[in-house]
């Protein structure tokens, strides 16, 4: 087994945590996997993996070597893709994963237009707010919103999304609008996530991040539920503009604390670096960049500042 093949073996073992599963995915015997790892460790003069009865985990040296192998294998795959499949037509089955709200509002429609352009492609789309590992679950592309924490995945930026604090005019009429971030603790807030003793929102003051406590009257892991509550005047919500941009433009929601906006979030397309980047994957990611590079949901007017004084 040559060095590149041995590197690929190590990547599969670390990713799956199992010699047997790595062997199954690579179509070789378990003894071939064990032999390749042993040869690597002998060549490097370092132990790369710790083996237990239940799982295989990388040592410190193994993790460092694993991360370098990911980069090397990704470069090899990219080079081969550019040379050997330069003119390949996208075909086959493209497996896509995305978050629930964004997928329902925008990704589904985008995929329909994408399929009209590439008629030989079939698409399997799953929507879930659970973090999906493309390598583990056999997904070609997963669309993720927020900070990237997966060093083992390649991420391409699709778009930037503004996050805004919004409230319905009826809420502002009844309770007023906060004038300072510290006012949020005395307002009814609609919180994304699980309620804690004192939930906090991350906002900015002249570009400087700050964390402020809030009083959450409703907590949910679903943005659509929070949007509906905000539209009914239940409280102030902190939501992405793709969910509430149209509501702001229509005057159904107003931006509060416009001088203290939350930090923007980014939409990325993620895929496994040791997975061959087939034409179907490449053209789909290019399509997403084209489609959402200047997103329609950002074309809203902030409709001024919500009045700070309570209307009686």
pLDDT in tens, 145-167: 987 776 678 889 999 999 999 99
Q: Find the helix or strand (DSSP H, E) in which 265 lies.
A: strand 265-271
Confidence grade of residue 311 (pLDDT, cut at 50, 70, 90): very low
Backbone angles phi, psi at 211, to 5 degrees: -115, 125
Parallel, antiparallel or unpaired: strands 92-98 and 121-127: parallel
Query: What are 19's two structure tokens?
Result: 């010699």
Torsion of CA 230, 234, 238, 239, to 10 degrees: -20
- Please determine, for residue 306, whether its predicted confidence score (pLDDT) is greater than 50: no
- Please determine, for residue 309, whether its predicted confidence score (pLDDT) is greater than 50: no
- Please determine, for residue 57, whether its predicted confidence score (pLDDT) is greater than 70: yes
Look at residue 286 in the predicted model and tell me its pLDDT: 94
Look at residue 164 in the predicted model and tell me its pLDDT: 94
Query: What are 58's two structure tokens?
Result: 């990388």
Whether the CB-CB separation of 276 and 81 falls below 8 Å is answered with yes
Interval 7-53: pLDDT, tens: 999 999 998 889 998 999 889 999 999 999 999 899 999 999 998 77
Judged by DSSP in three states, 306 sits in coil
Nearest-angstrom CA–CA distance, 83 and 71: 19
Domains recognised in the chain with CATH numbers: 3-84 (1.10.10.10)
Instruction: Look at the block and give the residue holding tokens 């993790």.
Output: 63
């Amino acid at each position: 087994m040559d060095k590149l093949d041995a590197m690929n073996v190590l990547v599969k073992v670390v990713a799956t945590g199992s010699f047997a599963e790595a062997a199954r995915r690579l179509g070789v015997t378990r003894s071939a996997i064990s032999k390749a790892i042993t040869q690597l460790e002998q060549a490097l003069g370092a132990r790369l993996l710790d083996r237990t009865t239940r799982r295989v985990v990388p040592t410190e040296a193994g993790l460092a070597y694993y991360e370098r192998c990911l980069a090397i294998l990704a470069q090899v795959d990219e080079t081969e893709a550019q040379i050997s499949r330069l003119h390949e037509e996208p075909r086959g089955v493209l497996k896509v994963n995305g978050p629930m709200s964004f997928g329902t509002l925008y990704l589904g429609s985008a995929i329909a237009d994408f399929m009209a352009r590439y008629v030989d492609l079939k698409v399997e789309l799953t929507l879930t707010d659970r973090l999906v590992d493309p390598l583990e679950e056999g997904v070609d592309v997963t669309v993720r919103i927020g900070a990237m924490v997966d060093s083992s995945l390649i991420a391409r930026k699709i778009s930037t999304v503004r996050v805004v604090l919004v409230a319905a005019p009826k809420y502002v009429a009844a309770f007023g609008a906060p004038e300072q971030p510290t006012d949020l603790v005395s307002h009814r807030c609609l919180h994304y996530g699980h309620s804690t003793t004192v939930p906090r929102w991350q906002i900015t003051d002249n570009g400087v991040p700050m964390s402020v406590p809030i009083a959450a009257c409703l907590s949910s892991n679903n943005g659509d539920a929070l949007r509906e509550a905000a539209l009914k005047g239940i409280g102030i919500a902190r939501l992405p503009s793709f969910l509430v941009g149209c509501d702001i433009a229509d005057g159904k929601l107003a931006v509060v604390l416009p001088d203290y906006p939350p930090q923007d979030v980014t939409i990325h397309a993620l895929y496994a670096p040791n997975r061959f980047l087939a034409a179907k994957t490449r053209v789909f990611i290019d399509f997403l960049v084209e489609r959402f590079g200047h997103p329609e949901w950002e074309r809203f007017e902030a409709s001024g500042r919500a009045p700070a004084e309570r209307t009686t």
